[in-house]
Each structure stands twice: as structure tokens, then as C-alpha cells.
Amino acid sequence: MSCSDEEKLGYTGSLLDGETRRWWNTVKRGTIADRRTWDYFLKVFRRKFMGEQYMEACKRELLDLVQGSLFVADYETEFVRLIQYAPKMVLTEMYRCETFRFGINREIRVYLVAQNTKLFDELVEKAKVVEETLAEPTRSVVAETGKRASEGAS
């Protein structure tokens, strides 16, 4: 399910409680309506509740992130979680793709680099397909005679 930024702002505001609700109500009263956007909310929320050290730690974690033993889907989940703390590092789809590709395992990256995909969602899907293909058991080659090449010549 996807929703507009305006809907995100409304839903998020309705979920806040206690101190965060009071804080957001104060911010809304002191902010021109046109300026109260989802991006604005994220910016002021992070500044208030997620200190600079936390943000820097997440940026470093993003830079150090590698797929390792994770499935591509799990690597993507962690990548997407971390990029929200470093939006300037992945301003464009191209940078997001480059950063994702840099951390993916080499055997998958070799296939992805050759395809030069510039859309993040498309890159992730291709990475999943490559991962699945590499996980398939290798098949024996059948020679023209109908015998498997691995059976040897008799």
C-alpha cells in the first residue's frame, strides 16, 4: 500500500502521543501551512528526537553496509532503513543504485554492473533474479549423442 506524502503526514500525526504529540502540535501552530510537508516533518522530527550522533552513526553504517550472508531482500531492507538517515548521500536514483550495488556480493554485482540499471527498484529485482539463478543447482550438459558430458566417453 502506498500513500501520498500528505497522507503520510496525516497518519503519522494521528499516531503520535504524549510528548511527541504536544511537540508536533506546537510545531504545526508555529509553521505556515504550505511549509508543513512530509519532508519538513521528517527533518524537524529527526532534529528533535534523533540526535546528530545517531544520524552520523547511521550514515557510517550505510557506508559500511555489505550484503555478506544476507539474502538480497534482507540487504535491501537494511539499505532502505539506513538511507533515510543519509538522504544527501543518495539524492538521485543513480547514487542510490551505485551505493546499493557497491555493497552487494561480488558474484551478483558482476551481473548487475553489465546491465547498467539506473532505477533502484529495477536493480533490486535484477539482483534477486541473479541470486536465485546462482542458487540453482548446476545442470549437466547433454551432448548431441544424448549422453551427459559428465558420463564420459565409453
pLDDT bucket at 70, cuts 50 / 70 / 90 = very high
Instruction: Tell me how far apart the terminal alpha carbons of the chain are, to the nearest angstrom.
Output: 60
Q: Which three cell numbers stand for residue 152?
A: 564420459
Q: What does the pLDDT average to over 59-65?
A: 93
**Contact in structure between 117 and 132 (CB atoms under 8 Å):** no
Task: Give the 3-state secondary structure of residue 148.
Answer: strand
Residue 37 class from Cβ within 10 Å (0-12 exposed, 13-18 middle, 19+ buried)?
A: middle
Provide, rounded to the nearest whole percent, the portion of the chain with pLDDT above 70. Answer: 90
Beta bridge partners of 142: 148
Give yes or no for residue 152 having a pLDDT over 80.
Answer: no
pLDDT bucket at 27, cuts 50 / 70 / 90 = very high
- Average pLDDT over the chain, rounded to an integer: 87
